[in-house]
Amino acid sequence: MFHKEGYIIIINTFLICAAIALVAEYFVGNQIAKYCLQATALVILVLVLQFFRNPSRNTVLNENHLLSPVDGKVVIVEEVFEKEYFKDQRLQVSIFMSPINVHVTRYPMSGTVNFSKYHPGKYLVAWHPKSSELNERTTIVVENEQFGEILYRQIAGAVARRIVNYAEVGDKAVQGEDAGFIKFGSRVDLFLPVGTPVDVVLDQVVRGGETIISKK
C-alpha cells in the first residue's frame, strides 16, 4: 500500500526506470554496462516505492495515550521555550526520520485542531538545533480534555522539499489517522505541557500511531 502523495512520483519513476532498462537492453553493447544500468534503475524504483509505502497500523484508540505521530528515532527530550504558539516553557520530544522510514504523519491524539500554519524556510539538516525555527515547516495544535493543547511540528530536512499537511483549524482529529506527509527526510517535534510524563527515551525507535509517547 502506497501513500497517495507518492502516486505521481511512483508512476514517473517507473516510466523513467523502464526507459533506462529498455535503452540499456537494446542500445548498450557491453554486457556489464547494460546490467549495471538496469540494476541501478531497479534500485531507484525500489527506493522510491519503499519511501512512499503506507503500511496499516494497529492504532488502539485511547484518550489517555499520546502516540508517536511518525516513525523514526527520538533525538530530543528536553524543556524548551516554544516561541510560535504557546510562548512559554514546553517539553519538547523530537523524532528524526531517515529516508528509509515511513514518512506518513499521524494524529498523536484525538481532539480539535486549534491551529495550523505553514512556514516557508530553509533546508538545514533535520537534526540541526535551529531547523525547528528556520526550516520549512508546519505547526499544528490539537486539543482534548486529557492533554490540553499539544503542538506538533513537521519539519523539512536537507533533502525534503515538500511538506503535506491535511490538518485545518476546526477539524476533528482522530488518533492515528493520516494527518500529512513529508517527502524525503525530516523530523517532527512535539511540544507538551511541562511536567507531562514521557514514556520514551533518547535513541528509542518509535512507530507512528502505535508507540506511546505519554500516558495520563
Quote the Cα angle for 173-174-177, to 5°.
105
pLDDT 10s digits, 50-73? 888 888 899 999 999 999 999 999
pLDDT 10s digits, 91-130? 999 999 887 888 899 999 999 999 999 998 766 665 555 6
pLDDT of 84 above 70: yes
Class of domain 65-215: mainly beta
Query: Hey, where are the domains in the chain?
Result: 4-51, 65-215
Residue 76 has a pLDDT of 94
Give pTM, 2 decimals: 0.85
Residue 28 makes CB contacts below 8 A (sequence gap 6+) with 34, 37
Q: Does the CA dihedral 191-5-203-134 come out positive or negative? A: negative
CB 54 within 8 A of CB 63: no
Q: Whose CA is closest to 181, among 70, 96, 95?
A: 70
Q: Which residues are known catalytic residues?
A: 186
